[in-house]
Amino acid sequence: MQAMKMGWGWKIAVLYTGFAGMILLLVVSSVRQDFDLVSENYYDDEIKYQNVIDAGKNQAGLSAAMAIHANGSQVVIEFPDELSKGELTGKVSFYSPVNAAWDKSFDIAMQSGSNRMAVPRVALQNTRYIVKISCALAGKDYYQESEIQLHD
């Protein structure tokens, strides 16, 4: 039996068809990819970012950073002593770079008689979060970003 020989024209056609198939596969897979934006209103947020910079400078002037740690049942946020001497208002946002559906936001609610706030772990996923704390006390804004890895 004699092996069938393929001419150079057929080789080019097979190579071109394979290349076109790979490009088509890449296009289809990129269209199916889900991209989550950090913020839906990124343009407005960018304009207001100077306030965040100023609040970060105010936070840096405190005696200590806002500490964040987790145990089996809750994530605890400890505020510096200066922030426990009045009516502290604001939000704690848990931003998940993995999935926008896992993002959570909570109003600051200090435990009575302490400078702590607790967030139940059941409200959060076991993933890495960027914790954004934005608060105000006596007309002065404070802002801090920290990272926390939650796992079982």
Tell me the pLDDT of the chain (152 aa) as tens digits: 677 788 999 999 999 999 999 999 999 999 988 776 667 777 887 888 888 899 999 999 999 999 999 998 999 999 998 888 888 899 999 999 888 899 999 999 887 778 899 999 999 999 999 999 999 998 899 999 999 999 87
> What is the biggest distance separating any 2 CA atoms in the chain, rounded to whole angstroms?
94
Residues 83 and 142: beta-carbon distance below 8 Å: yes
Q: Read off the pTM.
A: 0.70
Q: Is residue 23 part of a domain?
A: no
Q: What is the CATH number of the domain that holds 123?
A: 2.60.40.10
Which residues span the domain enclosing 69? Answer: 42-149
Q: Is residue 32 part of a domain?
A: no
Q: Is residue 134 part of a domain?
A: yes
Distance from C-alpha of 85 to C-alpha of 93, rounded to nearest angstrom: 23
